[in-house]
Amino acid sequence: MGKIQVSDTPDKFLYPGSIKMPGICMQQGGKQMTGREPQKENDLFFTCSLIDYIARKTKNRRCDGFIEESQLKNGSFDNISAAMYAVPSHWDIGKVYKRLILGIAKEKKISVIDALFEAYHSFVSDKIDDYNSSFYYEAPQNILCTFLNGKLE
């Protein structure tokens, strides 16, 4: 079991200024952790959530050439207004993609960056982004199996 150390860690991104949020920093299995998950997984979650947030605001599909090399012009893909049910937050979708990406990286023995690219450029991405279906809240292993099998069962 690793060391558990309580410290005051500033969260400058979420709480600008001099506000400090108490945090728990742990080392488990050689991985730096803040909270319940390793820091790299938290970073991936934030990245996926940010991708979804930007895509929604600009009405583009996720990762459209990272929205055309970040020129970020408005598009016409609006899966929010087309939704007939409650729309998951960009945080909810970020978590779905994070789990999928980590699963792809593990199963295919590739880097997280390569797995991110594969996830966002697969047919599964269209299924996740269809908020009129129940696919995005399927069990993470079902979403991963759908990706790995190349078809929805």
Mean pLDDT comparison of 36-40, 45-49, 79-83, highest-scoring range: 45-49
**What's the mean pLDDT in 129-149?**
91
pLDDT the model gives residue 33: 55
* Residues 78, 114: Cα–Cα separation, whole Å: 27
Q: In what order do the strands lie in the sheet with 37-38?
A: 4-10, 20-28, 31-34, 37-38
Average pLDDT, the chain: 74
pLDDT the model gives residue 79: 58
- Residues 64, 42, 12, CA angle at the centre, nearest 5°? 95
Biggest CA–CA distance in the chain, Å, is 51
pLDDT the model gives residue 137: 85
